[in-house]
Amino acid sequence: MPSFQRDINRLGKRPTFGSNQRKPDAMTLCDKNTFIEEERHVKANDRDYNGKFPYADNRIKTSKYHIVTFLPINLFEQFQRVANAYFLFLLILQLIPQISSLSWFTTIVPLVLVLTITAVKDAMDDFFRHKSDNHVNNRQSQVLIDGKLHNEKWMNVRVGDIIKLENNQFVAADLLLLSSSEPYGLCYIETAELDGETNLKVRQALTVTSELGEDISKMAAFDGEVVCEPPNNRLDRFTGTLFWKDEKHSLANDKMLLRGCVLRNTEWCFGMVIFAGPQTKLMQNSGKTTFKRTSIDRLMNTLVLWIFGFLTCMGIILAIGNSIWEYRVGDDFRVYLAWSEVLDHAVFSGFLTFWSYVIILNTVVPISLYVSVEVIRLGHSYFINWDRRMYCSKRDTPAEARTTTLNEELGQIEYIFSDKTGTLTQNIMAFNKCSINGKTYGDIYDELGRKIEVTERTPSVDFSFNHLSDKKFKFYDHSLVEAIKLGDSSVHEFFRLLSLCHTIMAEEKNEGELVYQAQSPDEGALVTAARNFGFVFRSRTPETITLCEMGKPVTYQLLAILDFNNYRKRMSVIVRNPKGQIKLYSKGADTILFDMLHPSDEDLMYTTSDHLSEFAGEGLRTLALAYKDLEEEYFEEWFKRHHFASTTLDNREDCLAALYEEIEQDMKLLGATAIEDKLQEGVAETIACLTLANIKVWVLTGDKQETAMNIGYSCNMLRDDMNEVFIISGHTVLEVQQELRKAKERMLGSYRDVGNGHTNSEKLEMSKNDSVVEETFTGEYALMINGHSLAHALEADLERVFLDIACMCKTVICCRVTPLQKAQVVELVKKNKNAVTLAIGDGANDVSMIKTAHIGVGISGQEGMQAVLASDFSFAQFRFLQRLLLVHGRWSYFRMCNFLCYFFYKNFAFTLVHFWFGFFCGFSAQTVYDQWFITLFNIVYTSLPVLAMGLFDQDVTEQSSLEHPKLYEPGQFNVLFNKHKFFICTAQGVYTSIVLFFIPYGVFLDTVRDDGSHISDHQSFAVTIATSLVIVVSVQIGLDTSYWTAVNHFYIWGSVAIYFSILFAMYSDGIFDLFPNQFPFIGTARNALSQKSVWLVILLTTVVCVMPVVALRFLRVDLYPRLTDKVRFMQQASKKQRPLEHNLKRVRRTSSRRSAYAFAHQEGYGELITSGKNMKVTNPFSSLPAGKVQGSTSWIENLLKKRTDASNSASTERTPKQQPPQ
């Protein structure tokens, strides 16, 4: 219980609260730096009081730098990276003259280049952050200051301020709702930005504060004090207390308007700022995203460490060599080289030489490696952004690579975790078919009676006869409209039911412009269908429902709503029609409703049941509809009991349920509806294709088991021909454990059966060879697990078992899972399977899993942006995933691997020449090449061709990638770049360096020019080796490039050309005249390259370096062609011939499975409607009895209580009655 005391002297008229007293100063006088907020005290309209606490103001700052601080902070950050720090260290070493074996510019030029590029990128990013910060901070809001409303910028809003919001405005900070334009202080908000849910949520002010109304003077006088929890990131929880006028009022989350929400359907509302700026729940949630690295990154870091080790070894070998040389030869050499004193000791000289060699050999891991990798990834990201085939024209959303450092990981995905709603499905419910009185409507047939597939061009029914119709609604079967026009009574009754039995709110802004606020999209679809077929639901009051039936306004008296709950699986309304008849209309799950029908309906029931199976077979969500005429007296009597029951305190739920059950007996069946939970385009094909690519797709959804299962079937993840679908739904650890064990036994059992049955069968042999047991299963199994069981399955002792079983199944669907569980499942796989995971989702509930997975993908273009903001890649449709992985991911991985192989090869070849030369120059760390060549080799002479390869190379075309999903597998097994590959390419580099050094060595030992003058000088030798090196690595990149675009040609030939032009330019007279000491190689190029013998050396080294590579590659392709090679050959062989279309088309399943019923909403809205609390009444206080107003405080509590009850009851729910499949 919070306790505090007012400082009466200072705060004057503040009331005191009995014995609950404490000095606020005890907290406020703490040192600001050590202030840890345990409890927040906010007083309305009192900036002085609130100012004593170090509460954040409403200015947000996501930017990192300032103009002045940019350089130091950015440089500091950059040098925290190991690579940069390492190069700085090298630079410092180079400044020591005794050690410096290279000029300072060889390191500083690349380093400065890298630092500049990174700094510019950081500056740009920060500039955009500044811009968006400013935009948000400068939004206007109306703040109550000194008794008047002032327009203030958001950033000037303080904790404790009272601000006024208007309809469709963003909430500026976390507010306590005080009053609103709606009755009972209700207000509606949309929380899409926060949690991705697009349906409206209700918030209600305290009664005491809602009485303040719009009165500014009363508002200004409001001096309540809120004591609440400190800032945190829980969006769904708030605890606090309002102290006002000697009273305490407890506050919960339903009184809070959080920053990021939008006010809807509410003219205005007043709120008091509780948390501002960075302390709002929104900002607290947008915590720093963890920095993701790819597995190649990690491998690269390991390899770089190895290389450093290798470098140290070489350094030590050469240093020892130097000591020995100094001792045995160098001493004698003193006549010509009088050493300075410090060097006059062999061991010390060796020590210095070690560092000198560290400098020289550092080019094994050049700084340009890191930059090039980043550049390549950035390029790949742009290709993703630019891909028209991942652009959704409907929403005008292109794909977007939000993280530019993970691209090659896209080519290594093994597990995909997908959300359902909004990701696999569109979250659009479409009224697709119906069965009325034993006749189905919805399918269309051609003249010959064959069913026609509905396409974009199929003409839809013209609803123009109905001026209230929804233009977006599409229906293709004309017979239904004809039936309505003919006045078929059961059809009329069918749609009347749909337009009456629901909990939707209608809003009619202009005549005919109806907007339905639906609790669940299913309901919206049904009522919209009724609306188009001429039974328009127009408005409702607590007691009436007004329809427009076939153009005529009809008002029904609403007598009762028998609300939906998970247990009942149905809802009913009781209405009195204008003729005075009382009718009960009910809709619900067929399994439930069919039990309550009048026995005379049996025939119709069987027909309808057949239709339902048919609908279910197409993956539609169904509801059965029934009605009942009620006797006046019976109803009166029932209603009295109902009234009594609803006012009892104990056992009210059960009483009501029994009453409902009683009146819903003996109903007459009207028919059934079938709603299509529209899958996103191409979901089934995509999943099929991904499965072929050996990617496992798991669905993690918050939805009900039935819905999830339904979607599983409709996207072909679950099939009737599967051996078994295990459903784990235990409530205790033991039950879950048993169920898992049973599942495992069944799988192993059937496997053993197969094994015993065909002992000599091929399969068994295969399985013997295969070490991974789980892959030997021939049967196809699926696993469904719900959130309760998952909680147990994820406990430490069960998680391995669960994971093993899940991985043995072809399909895993987790339903009713919380966001946290989604992340836990991802984490489980990530940790134990050592596999690359991808999570895809669209809502805020997917954020945790998106952040946890190696790669997070957000579905963009929807209203909520949370998932997208947390994601690494985003696009508009699930089916783009196929392209993202199989084309972009595969290429990225392929390119990156080839790039790394080549890069390590190139630098080993380049650098190790120094090592060999060490043995001939007294281990003195003399470089072989000209210093400028060392500076430019990596950044100018060889960077562009390999970049071009890394950016543009394609081993097979995109069509082939999509047609042969198996091509994706190398990435999953890390085939293209691993430690083994690294050794191969470094070995190739070492070999090349040996050839590069020793062939010229053999020649230069004893050679002269054709004019007799000597050429065996160091400079000519350097030029010869450098030229050979450039040519050899250019030929090698030519061999490695499998897709020669004009850019590749330009870069490869261009690089060689650039090499020669820079060579001649730097060795020219002019530049020597300017800087004689920097360019001492004057004339070497001319003198050396005019010699035929030098060219013969270059030719020989090239041949000797390249031929073995060509031979080995040819042998590999010829003897052990990989799938890639085969596809390439195919491509070449049949360039003109159109490749065969792989048939991945969706196969309509024929299933006997009963589908899920179409109810996705929570109960409680019936009560909301009948209580009338959400109706607009001009003056609620006069039109309703005061008692009801008093009761309203408890209404939301009731609602909340009921919800928790419902979820509890759902857990103890008996297994739903389901008709067994025939």
Partner 1 sequence: MSNRKGPPGSQPFMKRPDNTAFKQQKLPAWSPTLKAETVLPFFFLSGVACIMIGVLLIITAAGVQEIKVDYTEERDCAECYSLRLDRANSIIDCACTVFFSLSEAFKGDVFMYYGLTNFHQNQRHYMVSRDDAQLVGRQYNLKNPSITCVPFDKYKNGTPIAPCGAIANSIFNDTLQLFYHSDKNTETPVPLLKTDISWFTDRTVKFQNPSPKDNLTAAFAGTARPFYWWKPAYQLSVEENNNGFVNEDLIVWMRQAAFPSFKKLYRQLNRTQEFNDGLPAGNYSVKISYNYPVGKFKGRKSVILSTVSWLGGHSNFLGVAYCASGAIILIVAIILTVVHLKFREKPLGLEEE
User: Which amino acid type is present at position 1098?
Assistant: I
Residues 6+ apart with CB under 8 A from 73: 64, 65
Cα separation, 665 vs 594, in Å, equals 10
Cα separation, 775 vs 766, in Å, equals 10
Give 514's strand partners: 508
Are 454 and 875 contacting, i.e. CB atoms less than 8 angstroms apart?
A: no
State the angle between helix axes of 367-386 and 105-137 in degrees (0 to 180), rounded to the nearest 10.
40
Per CB under 8 A, which region of 263-271, 605-613, 935-943, 1097-1105 contacts partner 1? 1097-1105
Q: Which is nearer to partner 1, 50 or 101 (CB)?
A: 101
Query: Contact between 114 and partner 1 (CB under 8 A)?
Result: no
Q: Which is nearer to partner 1, 202 or 1123 (CB)?
A: 1123
Query: Contact between 339 and partner 1 (CB under 8 A)?
Result: yes
Q: Which is nearer to partner 1, 222 or 1079 (CB)?
A: 1079
Determine whether 1137 is exposed, middle or buried from the number of CB atoms within 10 Å of its CB (0-12, 13-18, 19+).
exposed
Per CB under 8 A, which region of 515-523, 535-543, 630-638, 1114-1122 contacts partner 1? 1114-1122
Q: Which is nearer to partner 1, 643 or 763 (CB)?
A: 763
Cα separation, 1068 vs 1053, in Å, equals 23
Using CA atoms of 455, 456, 461, 467 in order, give the dihedral in degrees to the nearest 10. Answer: 150
Q: Which is nearer to partner 1, 235 or 1015 (CB)?
A: 1015
Question: Least distance from C-beta 1025 to partner 1, angstroms?
Answer: 10
Are 916 and 858 contacting, i.e. CB atoms less than 8 angstroms apart?
A: no
Residues 552-591 vs partner 1: string with x where CB under 8 A? ----------------------------------------
Among 35, 333, 973, 1181, binds partner 1 (CB under 8 A): 333
Positions in 1119-1138 near partner 1 (CB under 8 A): 1119-1123, 1125-1133
Cα separation, 82 vs 385, in Å, equals 31
What value does the CA radius of gyration of the chain take, rounded to a whole number of Å?
A: 38
Question: Least distance from C-beta 262 to partner 1, angstroms?
Answer: 14
Cα separation, 468 vs 1113, in Å, equals 72
| DSSP states of 966-996 | GGGHHHHTT-SSSHHHHHHHHHHHHHHHHHH
- Of the residues 161, 419, 563, 703, only one is catalytic, namely 419
C-alpha distances in angstroms, 1008 versus 1011, 1025, 1064, 1097, 1195?
A: 8, 17, 22, 14, 104
State the angle between helix axes of 1018-1040 and 979-1004 in degrees (0 to 180), rounded to the nearest 10.
140
User: Which amino acid type is present at position 198?
Assistant: T
Among 450, 552, 579, 1092, binds partner 1 (CB under 8 A): 1092
Positions in 930-969 near partner 1 (CB under 8 A): 952, 954, 958, 964, 966
Using CA atoms of 714, 717, 718, 719 in order, give the dihedral in degrees to the nearest 10. Answer: 80
Q: Which is nearer to partner 1, 573 or 695 (CB)?
A: 695
Q: What is the helix (H) or strand (E) element at residue 1013, kind and residue range?
A: none
Query: Contact between 398 and partner 1 (CB under 8 A)?
Result: yes
Among 338, 486, 796, 1186, binds partner 1 (CB under 8 A): 338
Residue 543 in tokens: 């007691």
Positions in 355-394 near partner 1 (CB under 8 A): 356, 381, 383, 385-388, 391, 393
Are 154 and 169 contacting, i.e. CB atoms less than 8 angstroms apart?
A: no
Q: Which is nearer to partner 1, 306 or 1072 (CB)?
A: 1072
Are 101 and 358 contacting, i.e. CB atoms less than 8 angstroms apart?
A: no
Query: Contact between 1118 and partner 1 (CB under 8 A)?
Result: yes
Positions in 981-1020 near partner 1 (CB under 8 A): 999, 1001-1020
**Tally of CB atoms within 10 A around 459:** 8
Per CB under 8 A, which region of 313-321, 400-408, 599-607, 700-708 contacts partner 1? 400-408
Q: Which is nearer to partner 1, 28 or 1068 (CB)?
A: 1068
Are 916 and 321 contacting, i.e. CB atoms less than 8 angstroms apart?
A: no
Residue 124 in tokens: 């740009």
Positions in 142-181 near partner 1 (CB under 8 A): none
Using CA atoms of 611, 617, 623, 625 in order, give the dihedral in degrees to the nearest 10. Answer: 0
User: Which amino acid type is present at position 656?
Assistant: L
Positions in 868-907 near partner 1 (CB under 8 A): 869, 891
Are 342 and 295 contacting, i.e. CB atoms less than 8 angstroms apart?
A: no
Q: Which is nearer to partner 1, 266 or 1048 (CB)?
A: 1048
C-alpha distances in angstroms, 1075 versus 102, 182, 1017?
A: 17, 83, 22
Among 554, 1100, 1177, 1200, binds partner 1 (CB under 8 A): 1100
Query: Contact between 769 and partner 1 (CB under 8 A)?
Result: no
Query: Contact between 1143 and partner 1 (CB under 8 A)?
Result: no
Using CA atoms of 826, 832, 836, 842 in order, give the dihedral in degrees to the nearest 10. Answer: 0
Are 841 and 817 contacting, i.e. CB atoms less than 8 angstroms apart?
A: no
Q: Tell me which DSSP letter residue 938 carries.
A: I
Cα separation, 705 vs 695, in Å, equals 23
Q: Which is nearer to partner 1, 312 or 954 (CB)?
A: 954
Cα separation, 937 vs 1046, in Å, equals 23
Concerning whether 1006 is annotated as a catalytic residue, the answer is: no
Query: Contact between 262 and partner 1 (CB under 8 A)?
Result: no
Question: Least distance from C-beta 1183 to partner 1, angstroms?
Answer: 40
Among 8, 342, 658, 1111, binds partner 1 (CB under 8 A): 1111
Q: Which is nearer to partner 1, 619 or 841 (CB)?
A: 841
Among 26, 252, 1065, 1115, binds partner 1 (CB under 8 A): 1115
Question: Least distance from C-beta 383 to partner 1, angstroms?
Answer: 6
Which among 863, 794, 777, 787 is positioned nearest to 819, based on CA atoms?
Answer: 787
State the angle between helix axes of 890-918 and 367-386 in degrees (0 to 180), rounded to the nearest 10.
160
Positions in 1055-1084 near partner 1 (CB under 8 A): 1069, 1072-1073, 1076-1077, 1080, 1082-1083
Q: 1157 — phi, psi (to 5°)?
A: -85, 155
Question: Least distance from C-beta 810 to partner 1, angstroms?
Answer: 18
Positions in 1027-1056 near partner 1 (CB under 8 A): 1042-1048
Positions in 171-230 near partner 1 (CB under 8 A): none
Positions in 78-107 near partner 1 (CB under 8 A): 97, 101
Positions in 126-145 near partner 1 (CB under 8 A): 128
Q: Which is nearer to partner 1, 307 or 912 (CB)?
A: 912
Cα separation, 528 vs 567, in Å, equals 26
Q: Which is nearer to partner 1, 557 or 1093 (CB)?
A: 1093
Question: Least distance from C-beta 886 to partner 1, angstroms?
Answer: 14
Cα separation, 604 vs 1092, in Å, equals 100
Count of residues near partner 1 by CB under 8 A:
114
Residues 281-320 vs partner 1: string with x where CB under 8 A? ----------------------------------------
Active site residues: 419
